[in-house]
Structures are given as C-alpha cells and as structure tokens.
Amino acid sequence: MPIEQVSPELERIVSLDQEVEELGSGYIVGEGPLWWQEGGYLLFSEVRGNRRRKWAPGEGVTVLQEPTNNANGLTRDPQGRLIMCEGGARRVTRMEPDGSVTVVAHSYHGRRLNRPNDVVVKSDGSIYFTDPGGPSPELDLDFSGVYRVSPDLGSINLLVRDFVLPNGLAFSPDEGILYINDSQGVTVRDDDIFSSVGHIKAFDVRSNGMLANGRVFCELRGERTGIPDGMKVDVEGHVYCTGAVQIGRRCILRTSPRWPVSSSRLPGYRCHASVCERTASGADAPHERCHAGLRGSYPIPTRSHHATGTPRRCLAKKSSVRGHEAVAAASRWRSTFVKSMKACPALGYV
C-alpha cells in the first residue's frame, strides 16, 4: 500500500517511498499497540476478542494471553512493567515481573470505574488514564473522567469530569502538557455516513501532577468518518492522532505549534484506530509508528532522527462508534488505522 502525500511537511516525518506492510488482520477491534523494545516485538489488544496478541518478525501474529478482561490501552511504567486498561473488569492493572497482577485503580470514592480506556505513565511513576462511559444506568459514576494515580498507588485524583468521551492521551516531551482527546461522538446520516465531532484539549501539568489551564488544542469536526482517538507525541513535540478521515482513506495526522496540520493518506478503508511509536537505539536510528485498527496492524517507518533510546511511553486507545459499540461497523469495515484532522483553529490553521 503506497502512501499518498497530502501536505509537503510530512516528508520530514514519513518516508513516502515506504510501502505499508500489513502485519495481520481479521481481529475483533484491534487496539493498544505497544512496541516492546527489549524483545523486538509488538503487543496489541483484540478488545472484543478478549485476547492480547503479539507480532514478532519472522513469527507473525500469535496469541499471547487469553482472556484479558477486554483490555484496551497498554503502556509501560518507568520500571518496564505493563500497564493495562481492562474495560471488561472496569479497572486499571499492572503486571509485575513475576506475572502477578496489581490493581492500580478500580473505583473512585467507593464507586466502580466506568470502562478505563487509555493510559499513560509520567516519568515520576504517576499513572494517568481516561474512563469514558458515564453517565449510564449500567454504571456507578454519573460522569466520564480522567484520573491520576500516585506513584505508590496510594491515592487517585479526578482531573477532568466534563468530557463527553475522554479517550486517547499523551504527554509533551517535557511532560509540561497533557493532551487528551474528547471523542464526543458521531452523527449518522441515512446513507450510513459517520461525521466526526470532537477535539483535542491541552492541559498544563502542575508540579503536583494536577492539571490546569485546559484549552482546545485542535478541533475535529466535519463530514468525515472517525473520531479523535489514539495519540502519540514524538521527541520533537509533534502530535500524532487518529481522527476524521475521508471515506475510503486512512491517514496519519501530525500537527505542532510550529507546523500546520498535515497528513498522509493510505488508500484503503474507513477506520477507527490506535497509534504507538517504536524507537530504535542510537542517535541516527529512525522511529517507526505502529498502527492498530479495528481489523489490522501496520508499521510505518519515519524519518525522525532525534531518538537516543527507548521511549518511556507507547500509547494507544480504542475508538467508539455510536457510543462504545464499534463491532457492527467493524464487521463491515476492513479498517486499519489513523486519520487526519480537518482544522486546528487553536493553532490558526483552518
């Protein structure tokens, strides 16, 4: 699959002559891609299939764990331990080196969490995660929230509670800003075309880990399928995000305070998806962005040459169509991964 360039700035990031390779397909909501640097393999969640899968060069895709409590977003903490959002169990957990599982968070003020979706770990060990789903008569909380758990797991703080559907999240390189998606939803026309409604908000991260000065970083609206979902920020501060995409296309989005919104298009299918980042060691080593969609996973080598080691975080999230139910759409879409934004008024680009 060739990459179709939309904006010239993308040449600095994506190798346009690189063919996109399909690593696997046929999954029931593929999410949470996480590159495991030491082993040289990719983990990802098959959410509705209730499995954690592994892709390794020369081995292909195998089942690593089943069941997984419908785990979705995956990341690692500074000690290298796997952190998981287990939507089916309504909790966030951590896998210890001996294989045992520690519960990071399962409730707030005595009420069960909704369905934790995506997670990121700050360098001090504090854990931030999104918890969409509320209000719902089936759930205990009457809101959807974003939370912070202290490094010792001793306290949990509600950071944001006014999002419609908090989804992907990612820190800036200096961890001074936390970006959070609000996948507000989609509208469905008679011809079954989904129009996206949502945005990315940016928050300043205070010295105590709390958030302040929330503002809209980028609007995602218009006659395009998809919603803002998984995010990753590279070492130069560029934000990569799944989002709205034209019918019959899938795209990589990149935006930053220095550059306008730009994207590449990968001819294919409509999708909702996730994004992670693989970083090889060495000053001249390229990045590779791994994308998992509802039914497939793909790597895209890029031109960034500023990485000096393994990234602390590799972020990915699930998406939502008509609330949390994406299965019906997934059965019709051979979907894959990331999308482009239409406008960023916050940056002056429309």
Please give the tally of structural domains in the chain: 1
Tens digit of pLDDT for each residue in 153-212?
Answer: 999 999 999 999 999 999 999 999 999 999 876 555 555 555 667 889 999 999 999 999
Which letter does DSSP use for residue 8 in this model?
G
Residue 217: domain span: 4-347
Q: Which residues contact 208 (CB under 8 A, 6 or more apart)?
A: none
Q: Which pLDDT score, from 0 to 100, does residue 241 have?
A: 83
Residues with pLDDT less than 50, the chain: 245-273, 279-289, 294-295, 304-350
Give burial (CB, 10 Å; 0-12/13-18/19+) of 175.
middle
From CA 163, how far away is CA 318, in angstroms rounded? 16
Q: Is 329 helix (H, G, I), strand (E, B) or coil?
A: helix
Radius of gyration (C-alpha) of the chain in whole angstroms: 18
Instruction: Supply the CATH number for residue 202's domain.
Output: 2.120.10.30
From 141, 154, 68, select the one nearest 108 (Cα to Cα): 141
pTM for the model? 0.76
Tens digit of pLDDT for each residue in 26-41?
Answer: 999 889 999 999 999 9
Q: Is 60 left (phi over 0), alpha (psi -120 to 50) or beta?
A: left
From 142, 186, 230, 184, select the one nearest 329 (Cα to Cα): 186
From CA 156, how far away is CA 224, in angstroms rounded? 37
Question: DSSP for 242-288?
Answer: ---B-TTEEEEEEE-SSS--EEEEEES----EEEEEEE-SSTTPPEE
